[in-house]
Amino acid sequence: MPQTIYLDHAATTPVAPEVLTAMLPYYTEMWGNPSSIHRAGRQAADGMDEARAQVAGLLNALPKEIVFTSGGTEADNLAIFGTAMTKADAGRHIITSAIEHHAVSHACEALRRRGWEITTLPVNGAGLVDPDDVRAAIRPDTVLVTIMHANNEVGVIQPIADIGAICREAGVWFHTDAVQTVGHIPTPVNELNVDMLSLSGHKLYGPKGVGALYVRRGVRLVPQIYGGGHERNLRSGTENVPGIVGLGAAAVLAQQEMVSEATRQAALRDKLLDGLVERIPDLFVTGHRTQRLPNNASIITKYIEGEAQLLRLDAVGIAASSGSACTSGSLDPSHVLLAMGIPVEFAHGSLRFTLGRGTTEAEIDYVLEQLPPIVEGLRAMSPFKPGADVCCGGLCASSDHSG
Ligand code: PLP
């Protein structure tokens, strides 16, 4: 298999050819400013209007409930800070989960430093939040619950509709980071009972640097970027018209392909997971086995490190990712895996394969052929064996990985 086998679609997806085709005229011909009155401006504004309707269509929302942003991170920040500012006099308590993306958890942390109280709910061993925990955590001063739809590392899909129903009953706004789900599984906002939902273009075969926040009619947010009053005053700044048009085209494509792709990818994912479990001893699947994204195969191989496996996979043309970030002397295992109760020494052995539209069965067969000898080779060199006192592959002396 000479070419790169790209199995890192949770990190980013390629721009679909149809999306690029839709975008190009907005660079070469219809490059006007959508705020301009003249024809060039109107053409750009029309392109944006169409894209807004297309994105709304994917969510079963109204076009005017879509606010375009620079991506998922900004959408998350607008939802969290926007709510906190709007509701500052009503209460300063926010509920979130222990497995959120940093775009949510760091935003909550910033609010905590400014005096807000943040309740961080645990997840069980399968990575699921218990809706009853949400109910129990809601207080009179709770103004927001923010819990992700599906996790980017282990792919676990949360019971968002149930959590949303609890929030609605309590009169608390509910935001979900759906960056990993929009375009991959159905995300009808009314059925999910959400007030706000974040999405990102580059996770659904659209361009990078564009995303959106769905804001339910009646939810008023304080803007976080001030200027000329674009996006109905919620997000000022001349719009990224080609990116927005691309996001719209990606939404249309996703609607056409979602069901068939989810079925196809889930079958390949299961083949990969079953095959790896069968071929490699001391390997386990992380996250709920069925309540997970159709394209997510995340695993832990005990006694060796994820990064070492990634480098060897890369050398044989396979692009995957690892849950743990190993940077400049600090070894921080994934907060998601730790929250799921996975021991720190095993969390270092995590690997994530995320499939996409281009993934073939031959590619999965190739991974099944390549990974077992890689694991065997690394284990042969590893001082850590079943029953041994395991830590960070010998790189760290204690189990305190905070530094
Ligand atoms: N939320 C989740 C769950 C993600 O996976 C990501 C990206 O990895 C983001 C938010 C951030 O999105 P963006 O890259 O568009 O800023």
Residue identified by tokens 């159905």 is: 186
Residue type for position 340: M
pTM for this predicted structure:
0.94
| CA–CA dist 92, 109 (Å, integer) | 13
Helices 241-279 and 361-381: crossing angle, nearest 10°?
Answer: 60
Q: Which atom of ligand 1 is nearest the CA belonging to 103? A: 10
| CA–CA dist 379, 29 (Å, integer) | 57
Residue 30 and residue 341 in contact, taking contact as beta carbons nearer than 8 Å? no
Residue 121 and residue 132 in contact, taking contact as beta carbons nearer than 8 Å? no
Give the three-state DSSP class for 216.
Answer: coil
Query: What pLDDT sits at residue 2?
Result: 52
Q: From the CA of 105, how far away is ligand 1's center (Å)? A: 12
Give every residue of the chain whose pLDDT is below 70, as ranges. 1-2, 323-331, 387-403
Give the three-state DSSP class for 64.
Answer: helix
Q: Which atom of ligand 1 is nearest the CA belonging to 71? A: 15
| CA–CA dist 139, 234 (Å, integer) | 28
Residue type for position 251: A
Residue among 154, 150, 125 nearest 322 (CA): 154
Residues assigned a catalytic role: 326
Q: Which atom of ligand 1 is nearest the CA belonging to 200? A: 15
Residues having CB within 6 Å of any atom of ligand 1: 71-73, 76, 101, 103, 148, 152, 177, 179-180, 200, 211
Sign of CA dihedral 390, 335, 120, 197: negative
Q: From the CA of 200, how far away is ligand 1's center (Å)? A: 7
Q: Which two tokens stand for residue 222?
A: 């304080």
Residue 210 and residue 243 in contact, taking contact as beta carbons nearer than 8 Å? yes
Q: From the CA of 73, how far away is ligand 1's center (Å)? A: 6
Q: Which two tokens stand for residue 257?
A: 């392909």
Q: How many alpha carbons fall within 13 Å on the CB side of residue 182? A: 36
Query: What pLDDT sits at residue 393?
Result: 37
Residue among 285, 287, 326 nearest 306 (CA): 326
Which residue among 148, 176, 203 is best mutated to probe the pocket of ligand 1, counting the most ligand atoms within 8 A of its Cβ?
203
Sign of CA dihedral 263, 264, 269, 271: positive
Burial degree of 209 (CB within 10 A; 0-12, 13-18, 19+): middle
Count of Cβ atoms closer than 10 Å to residue 317 Cβ: 15
Q: From the CA of 384, how far away is ligand 1's center (Å)? A: 34
H or E element that contains 192: helix 189-192
Query: What pLDDT sits at residue 320?
Result: 97
DSSP-assigned letter for residue 99: T
CA 166, 101, 360 angle in degrees (round to 5)?
105
Domains of the chain as residue ranges with CATH: 5-11+258-381 (3.90.1150.10), 17-254 (3.40.640.10)
| CA–CA dist 334, 325 (Å, integer) | 7
Nearest CA to ligand 1 atom 14: 72
Residue 97 φ then ψ, to 5°: -120, 165
Residue among 313, 314, 322, 319 nearest 369 (CA): 313
Q: Which atom of ligand 1 is nearest the CA belonging to 76? A: 10
Burial degree of 20 (CB within 10 A; 0-12, 13-18, 19+): middle
Q: From the CA of 360, how far away is ligand 1's center (Å)? A: 25
Count of Cβ atoms closer than 10 Å to residue 258 Cβ: 19
CA 381, 382, 388 angle in degrees (round to 5)?
145
Count of Cβ atoms closer than 10 Å to residue 135 Cβ: 15
